[in-house]
Amino acid sequence: MKITLSQLSFHTGNFADNTAKIIAAIKAAKDNGSELIIFSELATCGYPPRDFLAFDDFIHQATESILQIAENCVGIAAVVGSPRKNTISKGKLLFNSAYFLADGKVAHITDKTLLPNYDIFDEYRYFEPNRNFEIINFKGFKIALTICEDLWNIVENPMYPVSPMDELIKKAPDFIINIAASPYSKTQITARQSVLKSNASFYKLPIFYVNHVGAQTHLIFDGGSCATDASGNIIKELAYFSEDSQSFEIQKSAQLLQIFGSNQNQEAPRNKYQDIENALVLGIKQYFEKLGFKQAILGLSGGVDSALVSYLAVKALGSQHVWAILMPSQYSSDHSISDSLKLVQNLGIKHDVLPIEDTFQSFLETLNPLYKDSPFGLAEENLQSRTRGVLLMGLANKFGHILLNTSNKSELAVGYGTLYGDMCGGLSVIGDLYKTEIYELCEYINRTSEIIPTQILTKAPSAELRPDQKDSDSLPPYEVLDAILHHYIEEENGPAQIIQAGFEPALVQRILRMVNMNEWKRWQAPPVLRLSKKAFGPGRRVPISGKYLS
């Protein structure tokens, strides 16, 4: 049997476009001789639909999409993910389902059993788990159809009391299909490959796996759909970070999985920095496309963060769609301006210079009767940042651009940013990259030629809000800070564990207190493109006014 894996980018709630893409792929696969085509989890509505699922009309449109797709499944079958109403059991009102469409109708429905509600996942809020395990018979094959998390319980300490494949294997399937919406993180690709290999080798069955690709607000889906043989070898991976399709042939006699045109193992080697760059570019690109915007604006300071965001924006949108605004103050160094101008030239982007000193002074004059000639301090520093924020938002509003935020994860963690100032923006591009990771990524970008000026990468980081200011005046070296933050945020280690890892106790307490005391700021930050297993946003839910470690 010839099987096509169709890895597509879907737009949440855009049933017309999603359905049209699925039908077009079905027709192309049929013309190519395929007998079965497989799409990803919740393909009709996009992932994650979140509280759109509470609308009856949303579910009705999903059902209508399935029926329309089914009409095109004559001479070819399709597996399509979609939500459906729960009409068979008590509990939640919906199932997260995989439809098996054949002969112009719905031939079988498999519901998702294991519903994740950790990190960015919140599926148990909406869906009822499956309790009925059946095999699909098609073209002489017995198929075990599963949905994403249903294969992720094959670990030493399983999260769920049941494993769907333990039930399905009793019915002697010939192979496994798994449709997924597995978002990218820096560790997810390796973890996902391990899960697929473990399932294939444990159950001694080939697996056809189809994942989402594209971005939905803060989530980035990297694709990487694949087929494995019954020994757990990945035979062929589809593209990462782009739409793709691939046809396979499975022969029942020896359960031998073969690739049309190739029979070699094609599990591609990964490069961490290339993956991060591709993920961020895809995240920016689809954020703009799905919101209907084309133009980006950002403040260019001469520092590494805004330089990196500028580069990524150009990669995602094209140089003609990126506008950099230089806003020097009386505290800006000469090289901040010259470094920014060199970057602008390297990237070929439009730029303008708006000095803020006069505007800043006018704010001070207005506030002076209430400030009462008090000493220059943090409020005045923040006022410079807010002056820049007002100008950037004014331009974005006037010309219909999206302001890209340039704050990094280190700054967001410890509150080293100004609300309504440098925390303004419609999208936080690098808010899930620590400062040390940003330097590493920039070095990778410059691996063949100097795109980001070397001076930007070698000078000491500074907000330049007072004379001779350096980040190191109030923060430990970023190598130390980022290591402590990683322990606390990603690894969820408490202070005792972090101190035991070799960090100075007073510093650990100070840094962790800064993280906790600035949660209120992060609630007002723009959505952060997720790159780690624990990004700021929906996947990290801590109270604003909690007392822990404060």
| pLDDT (tens digit per residue) in 395-426 | 999 999 999 999 999 999 999 999 999 999 99
The CATH number assigned to the domain holding 313 equals 3.40.50.620
Domain shared by 228 and 293, yes or no: no
Let me know: does 63 contact 33? Beta carbons within 8 Å: no
Instruction: Note the pLDDT of residue 279.
Output: 98
Q: Note the pTM of the prediction, 2 decimals.
A: 0.94
* Residue 464's pLDDT band (cuts 50, 70, 90): low
Q: Are 281 and 232 part of one and the same domain?
A: no
Exposure class string for 77-113: b at 16+ Cβ within 10 A, else e: bbbbbbbbebeeeeebebbbbbbbbbeeebbbbbbbb
Kind plus residue range of the DSSP H or E element containing 82: strand 77-85
Q: How far is CA 121 from CA 49, 189, 533, in A?
A: 11, 17, 12
Q: What is the span of the domain harbouring residue 137? A: 2-270
Cα–Cα dist 426/428, whole Å: 7
Q: Are residues 255 and 326 in the same domain?
A: no
Is residue 259 over pLDDT 70? no
Q: Please indicate, yes or no, if residue 485 is contained in any of the structural domains.
A: no
88 and 211 housed in the same domain:
yes
- Residue 263: pLDDT over 50: no
What average pLDDT does range 515-539 have in this prediction? 96
Instruction: Answer yes or no: is 324 within a domain.
Output: yes
Count the residues in the chain: 550
Say whether 183 sits in a helix, a strand or coil. Answer: strand
- Strand spans (E) along 365-470: 402-405, 427-428
* pLDDT tens digits, one per residue of 537-548: 999 999 998 877
**Catalytic-role residue among 45, 148, 226, 442:** 148
Number of domains the chain contains: 2
For the segment 458-462, the average pLDDT, to the nearest whole number, is 83
CB atoms closer than 10 angstroms to residue 376: 10
- Given this model, what pLDDT does residue 267 score? 61
Catalytic-role residue among 112, 236, 435, 534: 112
CB count, 10 Å around CB of 202? 13
My answer on whether 316 and 458 are in the same domain is yes
Tell me if 491 is assigned to some domain. Answer: no
CA nearest neighbour of 505 among 495, 494, 492: 495
Is 494 contained in some domain? no
Tell which of 456, 473, 490 closes a domain.
473
Does the pLDDT value for residue 291 go beyond 50? yes
494 close to 484: Cβ distance less than 8 angstroms: no
Residue 469 in this model has a pLDDT that exceeds 80: no
Q: Letter for the amino acid at 148?
A: C
pLDDT band at 68 (very low <50, low <70, confident <90, very high): very high
Domain boundary among 270, 305, 322: 270
pLDDT of residue 256: 54
Model confidence at 251, in pLDDT bands (50, 70, 90)? confident
If asked whether residues 218 and 298 sit together in one domain, one would say no
pLDDT in tens, 353-367: 999 999 999 999 999
* Residue 260 covered by a domain: yes
**Same-domain pairing of 122 and 94:** yes
Same domain (yes/no): 445, 325: yes
Taking Cα atoms as reference points, which of 444, 12, 62 lies closest to residue 218? 12
Known catalytic membership, residue 73 = no
pLDDT tens string 23-65? 999 999 999 999 999 999 999 999 999 999 999 999 999 999 9
The predicted structure's pLDDT at residue 253: 62
What pLDDT is recorded for position 127? Answer: 98
Looking at residue 123, which CATH number applies to its domain? 3.60.110.10
User: Any idea which residue has 């699922």 for tokens?
Assistant: 53
Q: What is the mean pLDDT of residues 490-514?
A: 96
- Per-residue pLDDT at 156 exceeds 90: no
Peptide bond into 49 cis (omega under 30): no
| The one catalytic residue among 35, 41, 123, 237 | 41
Whether 442 is catalytic: no
Q: Do 260 and 369 sit in the same domain of this protein?
A: no
Q: Are strands 213-216 and 219-222 parallel, antiparallel or unpaired?
A: antiparallel
- 319 Cβ neighbours under 8 A, 6+ residues apart: 347, 348, 349
Backbone conformation region of residue 468, classed left if phi is above 0, alpha if psi is from -120 to 50, else beta = left
Quick check: is 66 in a domain? yes
Of residues 183 and 156, the one with the higher pLDDT is 183
Burial 488-504 (b: 16+ CB within 10 A, else e): bbbeebebeebbeeebe
Task: Establish if 442 belongs to a structural domain.
Answer: yes
- Whether 137 is covered by a domain: the verdict is yes
Does the annotation count 41 as an active-site position? yes
How many Å apart are CA 523 and CA 318, to the nearest integer? 31
pLDDT at 333: 73
Q: Is the pLDDT of residue 516 over 60?
A: yes
Is residue 46 domain-shared with residue 116, that is, in the same domain?
yes
Domain finish residue from 236, 270, 304: 270
Residues 336 and 248 in one domain: no
E strand spans, 174-253: 175-180, 207-211, 213-216, 219-222, 226-228, 234-237, 244-251
> What mean pLDDT is reported for the chain?
94
Q: Are 98 and 109 in contact (CB under 8 A)?
A: yes
Based on the fold, state whether residues 289 and 264 are members of the same structural domain.
no
Q: Across residues 354-381, what is the average pLDDT?
A: 94
Average pLDDT for residues 10-18, to the nearest whole number?
Answer: 98
Can you say whether the dihedral through the CA atoms of 102, 108, 113, 117 is positive or negative? positive
**Residue 146 in this model has a pLDDT that exceeds 90:** yes
Percentage of residues of the chain with pLDDT beyond 90: 89
